């Protein structure tokens, strides 16, 4: 598991320029804002989008165009083949050396993207809480809720006092952590929150937030431009064994179009709907990141 000392934030050497993060939902204008910021702050852009890492998905993932990339150096775009798996920790392993190399030249890394989990791993490191255990989860699911509550209250009274005890999922997860680690869930969570609060005080970045009508109009336009601009050909060329990039928004819809299951108009509608749903999830994620400064562009700007 990666620890915070492996993270570039904050740099111990005060002469090293810390990264700046440009975050927000898809179609919010992150690329234009990041380029503008980089040009004004001696910066170079580092990709923070899960699907823009892949070759052959440039249109569907809305990767920066060749003209945009010519304005300022861009890193980690199109560096993975479609058949490569990727996850948040693998992204951190790719991004950290690039960020440090940029910093070593006296430049500001400008990290831009909408993949909240990837950026969270980069800024905060991996959570110390264990992932779920299928066997233990099945055992807990077979027990009465009152029994689980009683055991949680015995093992970790503090966590029990701040858990919605009528919510089986919350109770099971808190108890699962206790049983898997042999430690109190409340202690692990409190230590993690304390550590992340110290880190967040030294992070820099913004969250681009648009009005709902403005963002939806931009998503509708982008969806049409993608279908007209080659996204269908991109998906047609994707190999079947594309475990990560095959999850990109639009792949499922365009594959249905290619299979003759839906027509082009329906594909466009479904693509816009899926993108709006994804944007809403992104907004929810980034609103929780209180260290991000909110930027509200005028309608149509960027």
Neighbours of 227 (CB within 10 A): 21
Q: Domain segments of the chain: what residues?
A: 4-126+209-295, 134-188
CB 288 within 8 A of CB 35: no
State the DSSP H helix or E strand holding residue 113, giving kind and residue range, or none if neither. strand 108-113
In this predicted structure, what is the pLDDT of residue 241? Answer: 87
pLDDT tens digits, one per residue of 42-66: 999 999 999 999 999 999 999 999 9
pLDDT tens digits, one per residue of 272-300: 999 999 999 999 999 989 999 999 987 55
Pairwise CA distance, residues 217 & 223, whole Å: 10
CATH of domain 4-126+209-295: 3.40.50.300
Average pLDDT of adjacent 10-residue blocks, the chain of 302 residues: 38 76 97 97 97 96 97 98 94 97 97 94 86 90 96 96 92 95 93 81 94 96 96 95 92 97 97 96 92 84 51
CB 111 within 8 A of CB 48: yes
- Read off the tokens for 157: 């009274």
| DSSP label of 67 | H
In this predicted structure, what is the pLDDT of residue 191? Answer: 87
In this predicted structure, what is the pLDDT of residue 201? Answer: 85
Beta pairing partners, 74: 45
Neighbours of 211 (CB within 10 A): 12
In this predicted structure, what is the pLDDT of residue 140? Answer: 95
CATH of domain 134-188: 1.10.20.140
Query: Around 150, how many Cα atoms within 13 Å sit in the side-chain half-sphere?
Result: 5
- Read off the tokens for 76: 């980690």
Alpha helices in 201-289 (DSSP H): 212-229, 231-237, 251-258, 264-287
């Amino acid at each position: 598991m990666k620890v915070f000392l492996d993270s570039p934030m904050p740099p111990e050497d005060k002469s090293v320029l810390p990264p700046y993060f440009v975050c927000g939902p898809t179609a919010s204008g992150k690329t234009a804002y990041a380029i503008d910021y980089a040009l004004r702050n001696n910066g170079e852009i580092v990709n923070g989008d899960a699907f823009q890492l892949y070759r052959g998905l440039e249109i569907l993932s809305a990767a920066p165009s060749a003209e945009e990339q010519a304005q300022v150096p861009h890193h980690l775009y199109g560096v993975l083949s479609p058949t490569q798996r990727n996850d948040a920790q693998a992204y951190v392993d790719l991004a950290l050396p690039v960020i440090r190399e940029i910093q070593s030249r006296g430049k500001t890394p400008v990290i831009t993207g909408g993949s909240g989990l990837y950026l969270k791993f980069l800024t905060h490191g991996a959570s110390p809480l264990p992932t779920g255990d299928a066997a233990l989860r099945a055992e807990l699911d077979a027990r009465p809720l009152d029994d689980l509550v009683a055991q949680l209250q015995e093992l970790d009274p503090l966590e029990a006092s701040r858990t919605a005890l009528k919510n089986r999922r919350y109770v099971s997860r808190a108890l699962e952590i206790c049983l898997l680690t042999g430690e109190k869930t409340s202690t692990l969570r409190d230590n993690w929150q304390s550590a992340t609060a110290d880190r967040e005080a030294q992070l820099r970045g913004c969250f681009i937030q648009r009005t709902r009508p403005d963002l939806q109009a931009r998503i509708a336009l982008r969806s049409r431009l993608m279908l007209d601009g080659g996204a269908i050909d991109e998906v047609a060329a994707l190999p079947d064994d594309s475990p990560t990039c095959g999850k990109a928004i639009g792949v499922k819809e365009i594959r249905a179009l290619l299979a003759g299951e839906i027509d082009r108009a329906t594909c466009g509608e479904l693509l816009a709907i899926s993108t709006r749903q994804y944007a809403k999830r992104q907004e929810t994620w980034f609103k929780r990141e209180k260290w991000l400064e909110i930027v509200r562009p005028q309608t149509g700007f960027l």
